[in-house]
Structure 1
Amino acid sequence: MNYKPLKDGQSFTTTKWAESLEAWKKAQTDKEVAYSAFLKNLTEAHYYGYMNLPENGENIDYDHSFFTISPQDGSKNFISVYTTMKELESSLAKPETSMPGRKVVAVEVNYAFLARELTLADSDQIDGIVINPFSDDYILTREELVEISQRLCSGLDRTENLGSTPANIFIKEFWKVFQNEEDDDQRAEVFSHILEALNKAALAIPIMVRKEDLVVEDGQTFIANPNTDLAIRMLSSEDHGDHANIVPLFTSQEDIETLDGWNAEDEERKALLMTSDLETHLVGLNNGEGFDAIAINPFTDNIVLTKEILTTMGYMDEEE
């Protein structure tokens, strides 16, 4: 064992230890603060890029594509976007011509749009997004997109980026396909993809919390007491019985805003949105709330999952 007898040991003074420990802590804190600030800028910024569109302007929502860029070895392919018009105009990747019936347009988009583009793009053809490829050369991968969404959405009143969460995007896209599909076998397969996406989704639930049980730190709201009683804004539905309790869950800020008066509050309680995964929500519901079903985006998509379906998915035990 490598040690010295106490009488021969050189003391590391308390002051030196405290100073070195404080310096290390500060370095970690500064790094965290810097990354948080970067994510805020990343998700709130608007971006510029060149897009290939049909000249007739029809079906633009689905018939569009960003121009991409690859390294010299051609091993990767990235959607290329820029943070300023100067970056865009000086791009070495500026397209000069377009195909017949198509046109090249410079467009401005937000982070949510880019997140959707990367999520739905073929992973065999698009590897990620590169921001300012000829200067900053910052690459946003699919994995980082998932990590960012999980980091930014979990907690209380953190719903601005819900719509950019990859699994949430898949839920809404698959639901569109499900509604338009007539073949029962195909519908069953599409619905299985919706359930698969739900396992990875971030969902917001409207709750009421006593104001005295809330604390705010660094601009974020927390529940001080983990045993605090949470009142969930339930919906009723004649389709599930005269007094059926339906738990509303939302995949985006736009869907949340369809719930009229969700943010109503009184002198004692404050209305908040709690964002987490489906399993966490259901654990809380099983521990205290009687409910008959959950509804994903009840006023838009209205994906209803009964207790029977939730049991089949493994989220709930069979009732005796």
Structure 2
Amino acid sequence: INNGGGLLLAADPAGEKDGQQQINLKFLKTEEGKSYAAAFTNVEEQKAGNEGQQSSAVLLPVAELLQIAANHPHSDGVVINPFSNSFILLKEAIVALQNKMRTQNVEERLKGSAGIFQAVAAYYEEQKKLPEGEAMPEDKKRAGIERVLQGFLQAMELNAQLLVAIVSTEKKEGEIADGQVLLNHLTTQDGRDAIAVFTSGEQIEKNPAETAAIAMPVQDVLKAAIHISESGKMDGLIINPWSQSFFLSLDMVKWLLDAKMRGEERAKENEEKRAMTQGLSETMLYSALIGGSLGIAKEKDALGEAPYREQAFSYRPAMGSVLLAEFHSLNTERKLSFPDMQEKFYDWKSKGMYALEGQEQDAVETMDASIMRFATGKGPKDCGIDAEDDSFLSRMLPFAMMLCRRLHQFSDMDRAMLHDAVRLTNNNPKAMLMGELYATMLRNLVLHLGGESLEEQLQAAANYVALFYEEEEAENEEEKRLNEEAKEQHREDVKDYDALVASFEILKPFLDLKSLEGKKAEELSGKESCEATLLLATWVLLHSKSYQEAVESALSVKGSKNLPVVVSTLAAAYYGLSQIPKDWVNALAGKEEVREIAIEWQMRWLD
């Protein structure tokens, strides 16, 4: 049966009924008047009898053949290979075998709910440690309940089952006329009505005379409790009522079903994230270094008109080298380590690491100042100077991509991480807000959060960032008190929260992208602050229909050398690698080094 094997059953075809082939069993009768269905292990055994004994046969799965023999009113069992070394399997033996297999299957399905039993047992162990009559402290009680709930969640994850007490009837297995089963309710000493469930057959045997039960999936048991409560009295479940019992209230049942639903939604979301982030590291690193090279080419008057010459992709700006240092640090450390990043910045500056042929293409004041401060003993987060320049936006990519990991939910810890990343070079609240906004924009574009269109996703990112810092006027004293409590929590979670709130004005132009889109490029260009560059980059994206158009537009307007990097990465996040011209990627200097770092980062942080 376990191997899915079959036997030949002596039978004659009897036509079709309701679309199914019917058969007439051939029985062999003994002198004692017993009738046995004949089965054969192979064709030779079927033909081994005398001419008058041979008959036609049908090949059936062993389990199905035994079921037919057990249920036939004239059958006393099965005789196997009756014309040679015969063996009789009595009907009682068949039924015993079926019951054994049914029990084994149920016990196998019950194994997944062992965590519930263990959690309840642990709860009682804690109670035993206390003097008789003393109530369990609230913190220990809460911890015990949480363990039981975790046991239920794990059981649902494993598709495990519980044994549920049913009302015994004359009908098979407690079934009633409509094909449903009547669940047996117990009433607790304090008058609560509960469904009785058991984690094993052993628990039922503690009071077998009182208990008939069927196996049901854990999730179905919980749903049944809710369903019954909607039309009658039901207060929850009582687990293992004949021994160490535990009452699971209806509120807990509802919480478990909600948690299961949220878990399924997260699982679906994570699978979607997996699809959206496939090959993301290569896409983003190529786009950043393409944008950086084109920005330097423009600054050196080596760009020309589109389509660009191969030379335009032969540069690597200082911030491109710094970007690779950050990605490499995350690969080697396998965690976020700002000290290690600063060490690698120093290696770049002093040894030419991560630079093309070890040569710097340009200079960045904030980067040089940061490395100098680190060399004098300052901590990584104290190395930044008070500057609003846009160079740091060119190295925010890895921190933004960390927000795209599967199973990741954005929190205040991420917000603080982004600010600390900015602080490596720019210890300025406006820079921190722009760094957070850029990272949130990139996350939304990669994961398609906030809507279907690019504009909707960018607008949702701006609104999300602003919501945390915007101060709303309280309409009454109670609301004022709640606002102050929220601020205190924000101050604990985010360093320099008040300074960031004071810089809120910098976010306002991003809160109305329709208005921004209606402006002319000349109104936004000409400045090199982080705000101006991100604002102009957003304008370029809103006026472009493809990756290539966005990058070429960024190179045609009057902006800093970092503008093409910001536009290229955001456009690549939305349009994907397939939209980056292949000749641009093929012409990119140092492409193999970039690809190697990207593949390892993808494996460690995204896949």
TM-score scaled by structure 2?
0.22
Higher Cα Rg, which structure: 2
Q: Which has the higher contact order (CA 8 A, sep 6+)?
A: 1
Greater share of strand: 1
TM-score scaled by structure 1?
0.38
Greater share of helix: 2
